[in-house]
Structure 1
Amino acid sequence: MKLYCTGNARFYEYGQTWTIDTIIQKVMQSKFIPDFKRTNSFEFISATINKLTAWVTYYLQSTFTRNGKEELVKWMETVVLVKEKKKWKINVLHSTRLPKN
């Protein structure tokens, strides 16, 4: 995951500021759930590129399976990307969880 982020990447989730290490720790926790599965789908709203910076806004829908139960969670996210050595890397990601319908 660190290959896809800048060295100072920040993630703004649930009113908190997370680093890439926070994200990795949360992903690793899911590995202890025997039947854990996550399937994602994206609906892109907008994308803008200005030289070495890009920002993309999209809806993310994830289906989680754990402990034999399925849960659907939706977010609206905006990611700021920076081009480093010809590769786009995440610099900032802001996520807002959407209410369940």
Structure 2
Amino acid sequence: MKTLRKIALVLSLFSGPAVAGSDPAFEPVIALFSAISKFDHSAMKRSVTDKFELLENGEVWGIDELIAAVPPAEYKRENYYSLISTDVREDIALINYWNKAVFSSEEGTRDVIWLESVVVVKEGGKWVLQQMHSTHVEPKRVPASIAYLEMR
């Protein structure tokens, strides 16, 4: 009976899909987009380093430019992710993922999708974003096989 329980425990540890949020190095990505959804500019700053750079469709932004692009507005944003790959090496991680935002307002709902990569570093024992590369992808170019997970 004990052997059967041990086997069941081991199988449960390895079953189910990998969740991007299960990796602590991905947490600052979730924190940044959660803060964007809440228009919480202070929380946005806490999720990045002082040297943060965002490469956004051919432009180079810092956190101040990103904050300026996210003024309070009358819409709701929900964030979904599909992790492509993660490479964690001590105090640095390289992560590639699909990012989908669902914007809802009185005018309706709209999905916006990006293909993104980030460099995440550990500062003071906490993972924070150092660099992000973001490319907007037209819906017709997004593979149908992508399964997104909502994370807050």
Aligned twin of 2:118: 79
1:6 equivalent in alignment to 2:49: yes
- Which of 15, 23, 26 is the equivalent residue of 2:66? 23
Cα distance in 2, alignment partners of residues 53 and 100 from structure 1: 31
1:26 Cα deviation after fit:
1.4
Cα distance in 1, alignment partners of residues 93 and 107 from structure 2: 39
1:53 equivalent in alignment to 2:92: yes
Amino acid at match of 1:2: K
Structure 1 range deviating more: 59-68 or 91-100: 59-68
Of the two structures, which has the highest relative contact order with CA contacts closer than 8 Å and spacing of 6 or more?
A: 1
Unmatched runs of 5 consecutive residues or more in structure 2: 1-43, 141-152
Cα distance in 2, alignment partners of residues 79 and 62 from structure 1: 17
Please tell me the root mean square deviation across aligned C-alpha atoms, in Å. Answer: 1.1
1:67 Cα deviation after fit:
4.8
1:66 Cα deviation after fit:
3.6
- The normalised TM-score by structure 2 is 0.61
More helix by share: 2
Cα distance in 1, alignment partners of residues 55 and 134 from structure 2: 6
Aligned twin of 2:137: 98
Amino acid at match of 1:76: L
Compare CA radii of gyration and give the structure with the larger one.
2
Cα distance in 2, alignment partners of residues 67 and 58 from structure 1: 30
Cα distance in 2, alignment partners of residues 95 and 67 from structure 1: 28
Q: List structure 1 runs of 4+ shifted beyond 3 angstroms.
A: none
